[in-house]
Chains A and B, each alone.
Chain A
């Protein structure tokens, strides 16, 4: 079964540094998402992406965050200047474009900000 893959599995970064989290969605999917889960809290929506643009973003997704689909296969989440509170598990998800389809999730990237 096709999978969503995320790299790296664990990223440790100094506060204030830029970080890029990478995702390869399922190849024929059209909708892409990022979610995060702070330890002990619920999974929260960050952003959705369709047709090469952001279709919706949450309040969490401020100017420090950006997403890109640079080459038709990768889907990246960039945090420009990381803060301690950005430490979380970040999940990428994708879904197909035909009618109602569930989202398929990657294994996540654990981001630790020091």
Chain B
């Protein structure tokens, strides 16, 4: 069965530190990959997505992610975090040519200290 694993459950960083959140998935076929963010009290918002093409994708608010097919990974990065990046981050995968259902990782809570 498809699954998504996020390695870090809770990350604490100081402002200006660099961020990398790990995400691995298990599925041998073609997938679409997503990172969603949930700020406190708000809904899930799309940070970035990968469907095809350049494996390095750029999203909103300075985030980027790299799809490494051989490693089944889609890690999220940001060179310099801000206090406003404090949120929960979810990696999600859907199979291409499917109903589009998303399989989510368990989420990573990021706390940025000012």
Interface of B is mostly: loop
Interface locus among B10-18, B19-27, B39-47, B66-74? B39-47
Q: Among B32, B52, B103, B106, point to the contact of A45 (Cβ < 8 A).
A: B103
- The CA of A4 and the CA of B107, in the complex, are separated in Å by 22
Decide: B101 and A42 in contact? CB cutoff 8 A. no
Q: Is A91 engaged at the interface, CB distance under 8 Å to the other chain?
A: yes
Q: Among B52, B96, B100, B105, point to the contact of A42 (Cβ < 8 A).
A: B105
Which residues of chain B come closer than 8 Å to A106, judged between CB atoms? 43
Number of interface residues of A (CB under 8 A): 24
B45-88: CB near A (< 8 Å → 1, else 0) gives: 11001011000000000000000000000000000000000000
Which residues of chain B come closer than 8 Å to A41, judged between CB atoms? 106
Assuming the A-B contacts A41-B106, A42-B106, are A102 and B46 also in contact, with contact meaning beta carbons closer than 8 angstroms in the complex? yes
- The CA of A80 and the CA of B103, in the complex, are separated in Å by 26
Query: 8 smallest A-B Cβ distances: which pairs?
Result: A105-B44, A43-B104, A56-B99, A100-B51, A48-B99, A42-B106, A107-B43, A55-B99
Q: Which B residues form the contact surface with A (CB < 8 A)?
A: 32, 34, 36, 42-46, 49, 51-52, 90, 92, 96, 98-107
